Amino acid sequence: MRPWWRAAWSRAVQTARLCCGVPDYDTYVRHLREHHPERPVPSYATFFRERQEARYKGTGGRCC
């Protein structure tokens, strides 16, 4: 694949996951490391469970 196709494909996959309610763990980890280095990085299972709870219980959204 050409580099611009990779970027387009990556963005399309991310959009599809967000539409289906599947959060992007890699983006979340990058955000934590850049903006909240003091906080521990949760495992994918913990992250997924917390996002599902936030989505269906209405307990929250973004930290920033």
What global pTM score does this model have?
0.59
Residue 16 pLDDT: 83
Decide if pLDDT at 3 tops 90: no
- For 53, the token pair is 């709870």
**Residue 33: pLDDT band with limits 50, 70, 90:** very high
